[in-house]
Amino acid sequence: MSHSLELIRRLQSPTGAYPASPTFSAYRGYSWLRDGAFIAEGVSRHGDLAGADAFHTWCARVIGDRAGQVDSLVARAGRGEAVPPAQMLPTRFTLDGADGTDDWWDFQLDGYGTWLWALREHAFRHGRAVPGVEKGVRAATRYLTAFWHLPCYDWWEEHVEQRHVATLGAVHAGLRAAIGLGLLSPAESEAAAAAVDGITGLVAAEGVAGPAPGAGHLTKWLGTDAVDASLLACVEPFGLYAADHPVGVATVAEVEWQLAADGGVHRYLADTFYGGGRWVLLAGFLGWNHARAGNRAEALRHLDWMAAQATPEGDLPEQVSGVLLAPDRLREWQERWGPVATPLLWSHGMYLILADELEVR
């Protein structure tokens, strides 16, 4: 734990942003709302209030600075215009909060919902509000309320043509959190609540596959029966379905059956990125779900596996290549972007979260 905390503190930008990875060619110099939210959740649980505050303040500034853009996008949609994905808010930002100039798969909604969720968790955990976040919270809420129903890229920057259940789960949690923070206007709160209800109904109708309504598992996107490990977050921590709900139980079981291997977790069966290895942070999500379900021994097994993937210096990678789904695709990514991202701060954040869930210090 101490190395993860020290690494995150040392690498946090003076602006408050958490870099995704300080050395990986495709990530260097950028911060994701999604990655950073889970990193902030990890350090918040271990007492680094200043670091988490700084990240949430940075997010609120970055999003609040784009409030005019949000209002323009919402107005255009309200007039019936189809807003192209390229004109939506960015998925990642430079450490000083700019859009960045490198091409990326930028229309992702989950990060905005995940940030709102993490902000509320942090504020309620420590019994105090993070100052100066209202403008950003309200802008993020208006953005999600207006566009939650649109197809967009998923956690992995893929399949912009689909509506992803993990994204809907993040937005669902984020809008509930925004309402709970008490910073919205009555109209914003009412619209957010309506969106929450809309997501609940849509996922129940089109995002659950199984033998009977209310008894199947969540799916990678609406209308398929495939799963993705990002669905774990829809149970814990986002609570789209509770850990003891039949759909929550079935989702964790299906992801584990299809994608878990010896403590690690693959993203999805057709994954070819760096050969489709096992992701350290996904082992954290599976362990988190087991911990909340009372399966302590299984959760500890995943925590131990995460720790075992560290370099001699203690750094955790994004994924490991010991068990690959597509081994013939590993070299092409190494030639394109270099070695696997190491350290990946999100991996360290998830390690801190799972350790806290298990009260391991």
Q: What is the DSSP string of 98-150?
A: ---SS-------HHHHHHHHHHHHHHHHHTSPPTT-HHHHHHHHHHHHHHTTS
pLDDT at 212 over 80: no
pLDDT digits (tens, 9 = 90+) for 122-160: 999 999 999 999 999 999 999 999 999 999 999 999 999
Q: Is 96 a catalytic residue?
A: no
**279-326 pLDDT tens trace:** 999 999 999 999 999 999 999 999 999 999 999 999 999 999 999 999
Which whole number is the average pLDDT over 214-229? 94
Number of domains in the chain: 1
Phi-psi region of 223 (alpha: psi -120 to 50; beta: other; left: phi over 0): left
Lookup result for tokens 């942090």: 122
Task: Say whether 157 is catalytic.
Answer: yes
Taken in order 86, 175, 59, 280, is the CA torsion positive or negative? negative
**Catalytic residue, candidates 71, 99, 134, 157:** 157
With a CB cutoff of 8 Å and minimum separation 6, the contacts of 314 are 3, 4, 7
Interval 235-256: pLDDT, tens: 999 999 999 999 999 999 999 9
Domain of residue 172, CATH code = 1.50.10.10
pLDDT at 214 over 80: no
Q: Are 329 and 338 in contact (CB under 8 A)?
A: no
Asked if 178 and 170 touch (Cβ cutoff 8 Å), the reply is no
Active site residue: 256, 318, 356, 357, which one? 318
Cβ(35)–Cβ(19) under 8 Å?
no
Alpha helices in 162-272 (DSSP H): 165-181, 186-206, 232-235, 246-259
Residue with the bigger pLDDT between 299 and 361: it is 299
Q: Which of 53, 106, 154, 188 is catalytic?
A: 154
The two tokens of residue 30 are: 């950028």
How much is the pLDDT for 319? Answer: 98
Q: How confident is the model at residue 106 (pLDDT cuts 50, 70, 90)?
A: confident
CA distance 122 to 124: 6
Could you count the other beta carbons within 10 Å of the beta carbon of residue 53? 21
Over 90: is that where the pLDDT of 103 sits?
A: no
pLDDT score at 1: 81
- Name the residue among 96, 78, 105 with its Cα closest to residue 15: 96
**Binning pLDDT at 50, 70 and 90, where does residue 215 land?**
confident
pLDDT, residue 179, reads 98
What residue type is 199 in one-letter code?
I
Q: Quick one: which of 220, 191, 179 has its CA closest to 203?
A: 220
- For the segment 67-88, what is each residue's pLDDT rounded down to a tens digit? 999 999 999 999 999 999 999 9
What tokens does 225 get?
A: 């029966």
pLDDT at 194 over 90: yes
What does the pLDDT average to over 48-70? 98
pLDDT of the residue at 210: 85
Task: Tell which wins on pLDDT, 30 or 210.
Answer: 30
Least confident of 162-171, 203-212, 240-249: 203-212
- The HSE-up count of residue 121 (CA atoms within 13 Å, CB side) is 22
Query: Per-residue confidence at 213, pLDDT binned at 50, 70, 90?
Result: low
**In the predicted model, what is the mean pLDDT of the chain?**
96
Q: In terms of Cα–Cα distance, which of 272, 265, 311, 269 is closest to 289?
A: 265
pLDDT in tens, 316-357: 999 999 999 999 999 999 999 999 999 999 999 999 999 999
Please give the residue range of the domain that contains residue 352. Answer: 2-357
Provide, rounded to the nearest whole percent, the portion of the chain with pLDDT above 90. Answer: 96
